[in-house]
Amino acid sequence: MQTEHCQVLIIGAGPGGYVCGIRAGQLGLNTIVLEEAKPGGTCLNVGCIPSKALIHAADEFHKQTAPNTIGIQSSGTTIDFSQTQAWKDGIVTRLTAGVTGLLKKATTKLVHGRAQIEDGKTVLVETAEGPLRITCDYLVLATGSRPMELPQLPFGGNVISSTEALSLSEIPKRLAVVGGGYIGLEIGTAMAKLGAQVTIVEIADRVLPQYDAALTKPVEARLADLGATLYLGARASTVSGNGALTIETPKGPAEIAADKILVATGRAPNLQGFGLEDLGLTTDGPFLRVDDRCATSMRRVYAIGDITGDPMLAHHAMAQGVVVAEHLAGLPTVWDKRAMPGVCFTDPEVVVVGELPSDAMVVSTFPFAANGRAMTMERTDGFVRVVHDKKSEVILGIQAVGAGVSELAGEFALAIEMCATLRDLADTVHAHPTLGESVQETGHLALGHALHI
């Protein structure tokens, strides 16, 4: 059996793992990244990137086929879904190759194979060339997550996860979506725009239940405009013999005819099946407990990404990866992020950064109905909202719902990270006409001298 030693050994080449590997290599650490499948993890291969490609294709198709008021006439528009999938797969292929190239540029070695942890410093890898035993000074766990299966709706047949939903060979005529979170809504909205009859089943009383009703109402209204059916306060029960989904609603049981049933009720951390359980690491519920340097309860073993808990977001994992790499290189780095953006690529999009409103805070809201750029985009549904401390006027949170607001997430996060005040927002000159002007306008509004409302 071949053996090898490195300073840093990272299991998993998803967003957290490959970024940690790149940064560690840049800092001169002898680093190996292990990956069983393609680099990029769930996000790049079967999550963030392919879903956004599908959303873009659906938006373009919908623009050509939906009635409009600006004089564009089209007829007979069709979509070759196999070509759409090939285009999406091409993007994924280019990006996975890019990750491999970036690791190589940083002098970090990428090893393909399935890992089996023997102890906190030793991992056995089954590679195509045979078994390889790697010892390390530091072990970094970045094994990601998987779609969560419901006991009453196991995956198989016409019951699918988001992974299968993003690689369908054809658009289902009838799609039932179990779960009104961001994964279910993103895919459900795209399929509705592509012509599927979509039904969404959510156990809470609104979609995106982690957010307040003001943010979710425009999303629900748009779903209705697209012809989607919402069952709120409803629970999925079983799949009948004819493939229909049986649900329990406040008004009694109902049956939903469906060609495919997408179960999108969350994700579970990948912590079993490769020897990790034998290390006896301390957990918080289903996740690994880490400190402000992402260290686990075992000396010299670190964990990043989805296995460390919410928020289970790619950019969260990337930021953790940088913290670990810099810490191992001796830099005075700790986790002290004030802001972690959350974006739902629904229609309209939703961005949440920082704290949501509460009774102890002051809230100011500027509607896109008063924004010139939103008018020219024919999308005035939504708003920008700032949550701030009454006495100091420090920004505690910024949220938005509207078409294209995902591109404002960086500005929102920067404002909170830099401890911006209302005056900072109001005094920062924004280009006209842009959606970003609404951020400046919200600052003026909160200070009592709104300019355009």
Q: Is a pLDDT exceeding 80 seen at residue 360? A: no
Mean pLDDT across 28-48: 96
- CATH (domain of 82): 3.50.50.60
Q: What is the token pair recorded at 280?
A: 């006896």
What confidence category does residue 296 fall into, taking pLDDT thresholds of 50, 70 and 90?
A: very high
Residue 230 pLDDT = 98
Establish if 219 belongs to a structural domain.
yes
Kindly report the CA angle at 171 between 167 and 173, in degrees rounded to 5? 140
Q: Do 343 and 407 meet the contact criterion of CB atoms below 8 Å apart? A: no
CA neighbours within 13 Å on the CB side: how many for 244?
8
Find where tokens 């094994």 sit. Answer: 143
Tell me how far apart the alpha carbons of residues 392 and 413 are, in angstroms, rounded to a whole number: 19
In a domain, 152, yes or no: no
Q: To which residue do tokens 């959303």 refer?
A: 55
Mean pLDDT of 62-80: 87
> Would you say residue 252 lies in a domain?
yes
* pLDDT at residue 69, rounded to an integer: 86
**Residues 33 and 110 grouped into a single domain:** yes
Alpha helix segments (H runs only) across 160-272? 162-165, 182-193, 213-225
Contacts of 101 (CB under 8 A, 6+ apart): none
The encoded tokens of residue 131 equal 């078994």
Average pLDDT on 69-82 reads: 88
Query: Does 386 lie in the same domain as 421?
Result: yes
Q: Which of 224, 214, 213 is nearest to 366 (CA)?
A: 214
Give the residue-averaged pLDDT of 56-61: 96
Distances (CA, A) of 295 to 145, 159, 219, 391: 19, 38, 39, 37
Task: Tell me, yes or no, whether 322 lies in a domain.
Answer: yes
pLDDT at 21 over 90: yes
Alpha helices in 109-211 (DSSP H): 162-165, 182-193
pLDDT number for residue 240: 86
pLDDT band at 1 (very low <50, low <70, confident <90, very high): confident
Work out the percent of the chain whose per-residue pLDDT is above 70. Answer: 100
| Domain final position from 243, 263, 283 | 263
Place of tokens 């071949």: 2
Contact 368, 374 (CB under 8 A): yes
Q: Do 113 and 25 share a domain, yes or no?
A: yes
What mean pLDDT do residues 345-350 have?
98
Where are the extended beta strands (E) located within 291-340? 301-303
Burial of residue 303 (CB within 10 Å: 0-12, 13-18, 19+) is: buried
For residue 87, the number of C-alpha atoms closer than 13 Å in the C-beta half-sphere is: 13
**Rounded to the nearest 5°, which phi and psi values hold at 343?**
-125, 130
Q: What value does the mean pLDDT of the chain take? A: 96
> Which residue's entry shows tokens 């209302």?
422
CA dihedral 317, 319, 325, 330 (to 10 degrees): -140
What is the C-alpha to C-alpha distance for residues 201 and 247, in angstroms, rounded to an integer? Answer: 8
Q: Kindly report the CATH number assigned to the domain that includes residue 349.
A: 3.30.390.30
**253 & 321 share domain:** no
Residue whose entry in the numeric block shows the structure tokens 């896109």: 368
Is residue 67's pLDDT more than 90?
no
Q: Within a domain: residue 336?
A: no
Name the nearest CA neighbour of 15 among 1, 30, 35.
Answer: 35
- To 5 degrees, how large is the angle CA 339–CA 344–CA 350? 75
Quote the CA–CA distance of 349 and 326 in Å, as a whole number: 34
Is the pLDDT reported for residue 330 higher than 80? yes
359 pLDDT higher than 90: no
Q: Which of 211, 231, 263 is the last residue of a domain?
A: 263
Q: Residue 419: CA atoms inside 13 Å, Cβ hemisphere, count?
A: 1
Is residue 13 located within the same domain as residue 99?
yes
Asked whether residue 190 carries a pLDDT value surpassing 90, the answer given is: yes
Tokens of 172: 């289902």
Query: Does one domain contain both 304 and 417?
Result: no
Tokens representing residue 65 in the block: 């086929």
Residues 246 and 275 in one domain: no
Residue 9 has pLDDT above 90, yes or no: yes
Q: Assign 68 a pLDDT band (cuts: 50, 70, 90).
A: confident
pLDDT greater than 80 at residue 404: yes
Written as one letter, the residue type at 249 is T
The structural domain count of the chain equals 3
* Alpha carbons within 13 A on the beta-carbon side of 117: 25
Question: Is residue 154 assigned to a domain?
Answer: no
Residues 6 or more apart in contact with residue 69 via CB below 8 angstroms: 378
Inform me whether the pLDDT recorded for 75 exceeds 80. Answer: no
Q: Does any domain span residue 401?
A: yes
Query: What is the model's pLDDT at position 201?
Result: 98
pLDDT (tens digit, 9 = 90+) per residue, 128-183? Answer: 999 999 999 999 999 999 999 999 999 999 999 999 999 999 999 999 999 999 99
> Does residue 31 sit in the same domain as residue 70?
yes
- The predicted-structure confidence for 192-242, as pLDDT tens digits, reads as follows 999 999 999 999 999 999 999 999 999 999 999 999 999 999 999 999 878
Specify whether 179 is located in the same domain as 272. no
Separation CA 417–CA 162 (nearest Å): 33
Residue 358, pLDDT above cutoff 90:
no
Tokens 């289902």 -> residue: 172
In a domain, 221, yes or no: yes
Q: Which domain holds residue 217?
A: 159-263
Q: In this structure, are 197 and 243 located in the same domain?
A: yes
Helices (H), 111-212: 162-165, 182-193
Cα–Cα distance, 378 to 368 (Å, whole number): 10
Bridge partner list, 301: 139
Domain match, 22 and 112 both: yes
* Chosen domain end from 328, 352, 370: 328
Measuring CA to CA, which residue among 340, 306, 327 is closest to residue 142? 306
Catalytic residue among 56, 327, 432, 444: 432
Residues 23 and 129 in one domain: yes
C-alpha dihedral sign at 179, 180, 183, 187: positive
From CA 48, how far away is CA 56, in angstroms rounded?
12
Average pLDDT over residues 284-299: 98
**Is 316 marked active-site?**
no
